[in-house]
Each structure stands twice: as structure tokens, then as C-alpha cells.
Amino acid sequence: VLEVDDLPANTFLSLRYGDIRKQAPFRAGESFAFPPSGKQPKAFTVDVFQKVASSQVSLAGISALGGSLNNVEIETLDIGSAPLKASFEASLRSFDHQEKSGASRGRNAAERAKQYMEQRGVQHFLQEMFTQLLERKPEDYLGFLADFIEQKQDEADHADRNEIDFSSEPGLGENPLPGFAAFPLPDLGKHNSIATEVLRAQPEIEQLADLRTSMGVSLAQCIKPGVDCPGHPMVKVAGAFAGDAECYSMFHQFFDPLVASLSLKGSVRSGDGATHPLDGDVSKISSDQIDPSGSYVVYAVLEARRNVEGIRMPVSCSKEERREVEKLLSSARLRGTYLPLAGSKSWPKRLGGMAAFQEERLRKVGMLLTEPDSKLKLAAGFGRHWPDARGVMVCDAPGVFVWCNEEDHYRFFARQEGSEIKELYERMAKTMSAVSEAATMAGRAFASSSKLGWLTTCPSRVGAALRVTLTLRIPLLAKAVELPALCECLHLHCDSSSSAISGNLWQIHSLSSLGVSEVEVMNEMIQGCKLLVGLEQRLERKEPIFDALPGLGRELPFSPLPCQGPCPEAMPDLAGCRSLVAASLRVNPKLYLQYRSLATSSGTHLGVCLRPAFDRDVGRQKTASGLVAGDEECLDTFRDLFVAVHGQLQALQASWEPPRGSWTSVELTSSCQWVKIEMRRNVSGLRFAPSCSTDERREVERLLVRCMENQKAVTGQYYPLAFSQSYPLMPNGINQQEERHLVRLGKLFPAPHALGELSSGVGREWPDARGAFLSDGTADDGCETLAWVNQADHLRLRCFVPGGDMQLAYRKVQGMADNIETELNSLCSRGFSRHAKFGYVTVDSLHLGSGMQLTAAMQLPELSQLEDFPKLCARLKLTQTWHDDGYELSSYPAPELKAEDLLARTLQSLRILAGLDQSLADGQNVQPDLEALGVI
């Protein structure tokens, strides 16, 4: 038998040829051999038998009970059917029984044992336990038996449970959860959902308050969960749900920015001809194998969501609408069993819902949908009329099931072990097609729009409305790289929650939905996970992996802007982008049109400079420019962009300067643990990291290492990164163990992992021609100096000094820079890149000017307790970060200040903090000082 299409699960093929019948489970290419006979039949008969129930019955058990066994439960394979019961009798016909002495006593003992085991159900219990033991053959058989007994005890404890009445539970009965019901909005200042961010940013949205969709849904119903639940600043949720398909168009002023913020693409297509792709053609899905060996992909789950057009979504639907959704699903031509939730009285064929044993089976395998228990979901309305018209369609297709009326009308699932997700998607697609046909027969269809694709209740799922999850075993890769950052580059998401990670197992999810089709989601997942598995295999072989990582090899992560050639005519959407240059482009989009086709004489185009601006994480946590220079000429070719960022940085500085007064005499020695100064420089005439060639990067390394080796004031050694092949004295770099040790000490730099950095191109061809020049030991004055080569800028100098002598650190680092520049000029008539307006040129426009940042680690036990401490630091132009047992305070970017002026201002700010802390320790009132500083 070569092939059988659409064969149900648990079936056998039976072939009868003449008087002989043979049967077996179907396997492609299976042979059925028949012996020759005198008369050859002209045809054969094919039957397909389906196994409906199966149990193993012990002959030893029957013998112990005197040859018979009554009421044996045979577990059915159909989850919707109760176990079958059967009785058996067994005997050995040819055995001549010779009754021995004491036989009567033996029969009595057997009878008593039989009676006890029948009364207590022991025989069935033992039979089930040993059957499962032999089927699964666990390594830890004692643990398995203990778990089985504990599970049976739990079942017995819950066997007599009473049905729960949800009608009186808030949010689960007829009425919605009490809370926000109509405009005007309350104060949303302390709310943290994305929906409330949109509402705060666009107060004109309140003008939509009186609008209703054709089915009567208001905007207030959609935003109720976000208004009722302030949430947490570290856990951003959407905070709004669509009440019907029309909400996305009726309230588009609200939903468009919300969807854009939740989308990987960061924008919503609009305008003439903007059509969202919808394509579920299985033949277009890649047949590439993710894990041919079967050693890395443990489990696969697919989930798709659909809603029925013309019926309100679960947020606002009536009981009758919900029952219509259930009726459509149960009427679909699907092989399987529909099981309403226990207590549901909506489906005539199973009033009261599924049986207890069915509910328990579904719970064990993770297929049971349960009542919403979070305030957010209850406020949204997902629990109304619970459990009416909710249920699970368990399909005969292996691993496929459907949830009815949970968050969406339908949630389709397909699960299985291994990595064959194309086959898995095909099974799920057939199920979706059957339900779609049932909707069509009823004059309805799945809800979609040309702008947003498939429409879902949650705005984060619109588009392809498909999520793919693979559980991967990739322990070496997880240790070697920042796995979440790598997955983000691949448009995937790696769960970092403890529930998603178990030992060496990681759950990898598809991230794209808006703007892509189902086929694109599947192919993106296949290629991404195939890469992850390949990287794990390379690490097992102890091979470097950087060349295969987006942003660390030759290829950069996806960006709407190209690395070479002109940028697109229309500027990509900057919704949700928070960098300084993104803000400038939103205010003046003509800058993009002005420069999109230009390039420097060395071939650096605008796309290279602007790629970080379109990463929505850039600028989310701290001030970021989003604008990089590919060479020194960029500052003239794209001058107005750099001027715009320069102007914003100057505006952050304002015109305020810290008062000198009595603070100048404050000593930093007692409160300062250490100080550090970093200085960034680039070699003139050579392109910078975002644009340079391999040869240019290696030339930078050759020149700078030679300059540092020629210094007399500082002696040391150059350490190329592991696997770097550019330094002749160490052709494969230092070993990995030594590299990890130096990175932990802060003396060597790791590979970049933030998407903004990778997108800018600073990590290309990692780790080639990169390393650190470390001074030998610590100088007599306690200074530690080092120089990083080709980390982001060509050269990054650092001087670390214990205590508070920041002027000493400045003299050291400035002296190193001057000596290196002198050597450069002597070697090749080059110097450090400078611009007449912007000062020293750096890759990141944030550091233009002096190219210097000053940091001090301080202990401020009294001052840091004040509520206004962060505001005070900002007023003094310092960023503050808690680290170990103190604060690290760093200078703001100051492009308009010379190095000496930045040093003086930072020292004065640090002295003010130290003086105020000492005043508080002495019991003095610092309120007048804070007022004088403009803090209160």
C-alpha cells in the first residue's frame, strides 16, 4: 500500500484476497503477502477498520479470580465516549486439574480476594497502572507509580464535587464587571497599558465617545479593561479589545496607533492599494527540515484565531450570538467530538456539558479552556455567561482541537512532538477550512479587512492571526549569546519566563503578524529555528558562530532602510520610534526626502545612518540619537539631520549651570568609590564601523596597536578577540575562556546584542580586527588604563581610578589620546577625525563634540532616600544607575562643551551631591539648597 489520503487516527487496513485476510496499521510502502493458491481471485477487498477502544487484560489476573473477570473497563479512544465494560472467562482446556491438599482453603482465599477487589475496584486500578507502566516504560518506574497513585487520589477527592454556579461571580454572570462604563475618562496618569498611553497622547480621541458601530459597540466597551486595570510599568499589555470587526474602522484613530505599537512592523498600512496579504497556501510553505536529526526540536504548537463576521466578538456579544458561534462549529463537517464545558446548557446534544472524566482528560493534556481569572479579562467581558456556549472540538486529526468562544470565536490548535510544522499546519488548515465552509453555508464568513488582515479580539493578533511555537533544546547557544536578542533579529520571540523554560528547553515563538501572511509567518519560523538549531550544532563542534548571526556576519537584521543605494521614496512609518532623530523626522519629514538619494564620496548612503532610528527599542530606556555616521563626510552630506540631533541634545542641557559657591570645597574622596573616563576617537580618512570594509577595519587595528605599542608612558599587550584572525602575533585570537574572564572584569567587550546596534552595522564580521590593549598592572597612582579597538568607534580609551580624583583620570586618558594621535601622524600622516562644527566625530551622534563620558560610583545613603533624588540628578545633568551598593553617575551628552568644560561641570555636580549627602548626615535642612538648585 503506497499511500492513503486523509486516513483517520487509530485505523487499520484490512485486505482480503481469496479466503485469506490480513490487517495492519497503515504505513507507507507496507507489504501484505498472500500465499499462492490454486485459483487466483480476480479482485481483492480493502476494508478500513477503526479501533474504538483498547485495554490490556492480564490473564494472570483472571486466573487468580478463578477464571473469570467481570466489568472490566475498556478505555475508548474517542474522548467523547465513556469506557466500555466487558466480562471475561479463561480456562486451559487440555489441563487436567489435580486438586491438591489444601485446595479448598485456596479457593476460599481466592473468593475472598475476588470479593474484596471487586468491592474496592482494586483490580481495575492495578490493571490500568501496569498497562500504562508497560506502555510508557519510564526510567524512574517508582516515581511513575507514585505519581499514578497520587493522581488517582486526586481524582477520588474531586469525584463528588458539586457543579459551580458562576452566575453570581463578578464578571462571569449576566452583568459586566463593575467599573468604567462611559466617557469622560478618569485620570490615567498612573496607568501603564499601551491603550492608556494612546489615550493620553491623543486626547481628541474622546470625540469618538458617542459613536457606535452598526452592532452597537462603543469605544468605552473596548477600552474598559485598560481603564479598570492600571497595570504595571514593567509589564505592558494592550489594555483594549475590539467588540466587533467594525471597531477597527469606526475607531481607527484609537486602534491604528495601538495596533502599530503592538506590531513588529510598527505601522498600519493605509492609503490606496494598501492590502494586507492573506495566504494560507500550504504548497508555498518551505519544506526545509528544521531538525533532521530529531535531537533539538521537542514540541511544536500552532495556534490560529478567527472570528465570524456579523457577530459581535466575545467582549460584547450576547448569549444568543455566542450560541450561534457554537452552532456553526458543531455543524462543521469535521471528524471529531464537540465537548461543551461542564455546566453549559447551550448544545442540545450534550445538555450539561462534558462528563467529569472527559473534563479531567482534557485538563491533563492541556486542552481544556478555563474561566478567566484575571481582572483584565473579566473587565473585558470574556467571562460573561460562563460557561454557556463554550467548549472544545476534539478532532480526529492527530493533535488538532478548537476552542469555542474563549477570547475569540474560534482558536484553532495543532500540536505534536518533533519539527514537522508544515504537516501540522496542513492538518490545522483543513479544520479551519471546514469551519469556514460551515460559516459560508450559514451566509457568514471569517472577519477580515484589507488593511489589517484577519481581525481578532486582541489588537496584537490582527494580521496573519497565527502563532507558531517550537520548544527547542539549545543549551550551548543559550549560554553563548543573548538568546532573546538573537531571536528578535530573526523576528522571533524567546520566552524568558520560568514557565516557558525548563532546564535546557526554550520556547521560541513567531513574532510577526501584521503585514505578513500565514505562509510568511511559517517560513520565517522555519528558517529562524533552522538557524538556531544549526548554531547549536556548530557550538557542539566547537566552531565559531558569529558569521551566521544577523548583524554579526555579513548580513544585517531586517530594516525598512537598505544598507546600500537610495532609500525608499516614501519614508517608512516611525510610529513608536523614540530616538532623537525619529522625533526630528516626524517634525520635519522633508529632511528624509532631501537626503534619501544622497551618498558620501566613499559610498555611505542615508540608510546606513538612519537604520537605528527605525528600531522601536532605541530610546525606550535612555536618551538615544538613532543616528550614526558611516564616515566623517556624513556630517556634511546629511548635515541638517546631525544639526537637528545636535539641537535636541543642546535643548536637554538647557542654559542652567550648577552653582559653584560653597560646593567647590567639597571633597569627593569619602563618598566616591571610583571614577572612570571614556574617550571615543576615529581615525581620519578611514570609514567607520557601519560602513568600513574588512581591509579598512584591519588597517585601523594595525595602526592603533602599533601606536600603542610605541608609547613609552604606557606599556601593555594587545588581546584580539577569540576567533579574530587579523592579528599576526595571535592569528586566532585569545582563547574563549580567557575572553569570558576579561569580559566579566570589564576589560574586554562582548559582541553587541541590542537590535539597534546590530542594525547599525557596528557588529559586522564579528570578531575580526577587534580587541583590547591592556596596560601592564596598575600604575603607581592607582590608574588602570585600556584601549578598545573597533568596538563601535575605532578607538575607545578608558581610565579607571579608585577614589574621587577625576582630574587625574582625565589627564591620563587625554595624555593617551594625544600620544596615539602623535604616533598616527608619524606613521601615516593621519590624526583623529574632527569637524569644524561638531568637534570630534564619533559613530553615534550622541557623543559628538568631546567624545567623552565621565562616570563616578558614589555612596549617597542619605541623599538617595529623598523622593527628589532622580530629579536632582537630572537637574545636575547626570544619569543615575543603581549598581552593587551605590549609584553610578554619568555625565549627560554635551556636544557643545569642550572636554575641560565637561569635566569642570561634572565635578561640580558630583560635589553638590556629596555636600548635600553630608549635610543630611549632619542633620541639616537641605530644603533651601534644593530650592536654590531648582529641584523643588
Q: To the nearest 5 percent, what fractions of the chain are helix, strand and coil?
A: 35, 15, 45
Are 409 and 325 contacting, i.e. CB atoms less than 8 angstroms apart?
yes
Phi, psi of 23 (to 5 degrees): -140, 155
- First-to-last alpha carbon distance for the chain, in angstroms, is 85
3-state SS record for 538-576:
HHHCCCCCHHHCCCCCCCCCCCCCCCCCCCCCCCCCCCC
Please report the DSSP string for 636-680 in residue order.
HHTHHHHHHHHHHHHHHHTT-----GGGGG---TTTEEEEEEEEE
CA distance 715 to 275: 64
And the C-alpha cell for 138?
Answer: 519510564
Query: Residues of 46-84 as b/e, b for ≥16 C-beta within 10 angstroms?
Result: eeeeeeeeebeeeeebbeebeeebeebbeebeebeeeee
Q: For helices 194-201 and 219-228, what crossing angle results, to 10°? A: 110
CA distance 37 to 41: 9
CA distance 642 to 584: 10
Phi, psi of 681 (to 5 degrees): -145, 155
Residue 923, helix vs strand vs coil: coil
Cis peptide before 750 (omega within 30 of 0): no
- Residues sharing a CB contact under 8 Å with residue 689, sequence separation 6 or more, in sequence order: 697, 760, 761, 762, 764, 790, 792, 793, 794, 843
- Residues sharing a CB contact under 8 Å with residue 637, sequence separation 6 or more, in sequence order: 595, 598, 599, 600, 604
- Residues sharing a CB contact under 8 Å with residue 216, sequence separation 6 or more, in sequence order: 316
For residue 843, give the amino acid letter.
V
Which is nearest to 696 in space by CA: 602, 555, 609, 633? 602
Q: Residues annotated in the binding site, as ranges? A: 299-303, 411, 467-471, 495-500, 674-678, 796, 853-857
Q: For helices 580-587 and 639-653, what crossing angle results, to 10°? A: 110
Residue 450, helix vs strand vs coil: coil
Q: Number of C-alpha atoms within 13 angstroms, CB side, residue 266?
A: 15
Q: Residues annotated in the binding site for ATP, as ranges? A: 299-303, 411, 467-471, 495-500, 674-678, 796, 853-857
Q: Number of C-alpha atoms within 13 angstroms, CB side, residue 709?
A: 10
CA distance 505 to 740: 24
Instruction: Centre a 10 Å sphere on the Cβ of residue 182 and count the other Cβ atoms it contains.
Output: 12
CA distance 503 to 37: 60
Cis peptide before 895 (omega within 30 of 0): no
Helix (H) / strand (E) containing 182: none
What sign does the CA torsion over 277, 279, 285, 291 have? positive
And the C-alpha cell for 760?
Answer: 547599525
And the C-alpha cell for 711?
Answer: 608609547
